[in-house]
Amino acid sequence: MTFSSSIGVRELPLFPLPELVLFPGRHLPLHIFEFRYRIMMNTILQSDRRFGVLMLDPVTGEPAKVGCCAEVLHYQRLPDDRMKILTMGQQRFRVLDYVREKPYRVGLVEWLEDDPAERDLHPLASEVDQLLRDVVRLSAKLTSQDIEMPENVPDIPLELSYWVASNLYGVAHEQQALLEMQDTAGRLEREAEILTSTRNHLAARTALKDVLE
């Protein structure tokens, strides 16, 4: 898997979504029904099919400054000009300024990339991968369900860090913090902390279940 990258600054149509954080390499299906976003989609489909996804804070009502560019892979027009689209996250960006607000927001953005790693991150990535497998195994045991690891888990540290972050549920602000990091090691270390806490919690519940049974 490769993520396209560009140098410099560009204008990008923006699509704020409540408590949703998109990561590079991840699919995002959307149902477009608001008039302003139907206009936006019709416009970008005539150009490079790209727009920016930003998490909308439900408390402040303001979009985050760091988001992920989405590229439309497929689309289907529905009655009333509504659309179903399938997108994939590309590179991350930071909003420098807003070019306009109506009919939809357009931002002046700069692309973000992680800083070069100062050490081999594969051991750390292997640790995160193992913690992930422990969590899946314990979840399966606790729920008595057949839960298996997906086959598409990346082994490249950067891609793994995005994959794990995108699969955290119910913690949009934590995901946003992981998206904003520009340090792959730091992102993986934080994910290791989260997965360790989850594993320990599941292990305790599984042990209790075994005793009660």
Indicate whether this model's pTM tops 0.85: yes
Residue 186 maps to a domain: yes
100 plus 135 within the same structural domain: no
| 179 and 87 both lie in a single domain | no
Determine what percent of the chain is predicted with pLDDT higher than 90: 71
**Other residues' Cβ atoms within 10 Å of the Cβ of residue 169:** 7
Residue 173 lies in a domain: yes
Same domain, 135 and 57: no
The CATH number of residue 48's host domain is 2.30.130.40
The number of folded domains in the chain is 2
pLDDT-based confidence at residue 27 (cuts at 50, 70, 90): very high
Of 112, 133, 156, which residue is a domain's last? Answer: 112
Q: Which of 90, 112, 134 is the last residue of a domain?
A: 112
Report d(CA 75, CA 87) in Å as an integer: 9
Q: Which domain holds residue 177?
A: 122-212
Which residue among 51, 83, 112 closes a domain? 112
* Residue 85 pLDDT greater than 80, yes or no: yes
Q: What is the mean pLDDT of residues 159-187?
A: 94
If 0-12 CB within 10 Å is exposed, 13-18 middle and 19+ buried, where does residue 145 land? Answer: exposed
111, pLDDT greater than 90: yes
Q: Is 28 found in the same domain as 98?
A: yes
Is residue 1 one of the residues assigned to a domain? no
